[in-house]
Amino acid sequence: MITSQRRTPRKPFLKRYLYLTHVSPSGIEAKEARRLAECPVQIAWSTIESAKRPQDVASSEGLHAARKLIAQKVEQHTHTPPKFSKDGRFALLTINCPDQIHPVIATRWAGHLKSAKLEAIGVANTGYVPGRVNFSVRLARRNPLAKDTNLIELLKEYASRTPSLKEKLLTENEDIHFARGHREASGGSLDPEVWEEFIKDGLEILERPVAGDAKKRKQEAEKPKNTLDRFFTPSPKKVKNN
Under 8 Å between Cβ of 198 and 159: yes
- Provide mean pLDDT across the span 143-153: 93
Q: Write down the pLDDT at residue 202.
A: 97
**Higher-confidence position of 151 and 42:** 151
Q: Write down the pLDDT at residue 225.
A: 55
The lowest-confidence range among 30-34, 66-70, 98-102, 107-111 is: 30-34
Q: Three-state SS across 141-197?
A: CCCHHHHHCCHHHHHHHHHCCCHHHHHHHCCCCCCCEEEEEECCEEEEEECHHHHHH
79-202 fold: Diaminopimelate Epimerase; Chain A, domain 1 (3.10.310)
Q: Write down the pLDDT at residue 161.
A: 96
Q: Where are the alpha helices (DSSP H) in the chain?
A: 11-18, 24-32, 41-50, 54-58, 61-77, 102-110, 151-159, 163-169, 192-197, 213-222, 228-232, 236-241
Rg of the chain (C-alpha set): 27
Of the pLDDT bands very low, low, confident and very high (cuts 50, 70, 90), residue 102 is very high
Distances (CA, A) of 52 to 48, 55, 59, 107: 8, 8, 12, 33
Residues 6+ apart with CB under 8 A from 63: 29, 30, 32, 33, 43, 44, 47, 57
List, for residues 50-64, the tens digit of each pLDDT value: 777 767 676 777 777
Nearest to 45 by CA among 22, 62, 23, 24: 62
Under 8 Å between Cβ of 77 and 95: yes
What rounded mean pLDDT belongs to the chain? Answer: 80
> Where along the chain do its domains lie?
12-57, 79-202
Check pLDDT > 90 for residue 67: no
List, for residues 6-46, the tens digit of each pLDDT value: 554 555 544 554 444 555 555 555 666 778 887 666 776 67
Residue 179, sorted as left (phi over 0), alpha (psi -120 to 50) or beta, turns out to be left
Of the pLDDT bands very low, low, confident and very high (cuts 50, 70, 90), residue 188 is very high
Q: Write down the pLDDT at residue 49.
A: 76
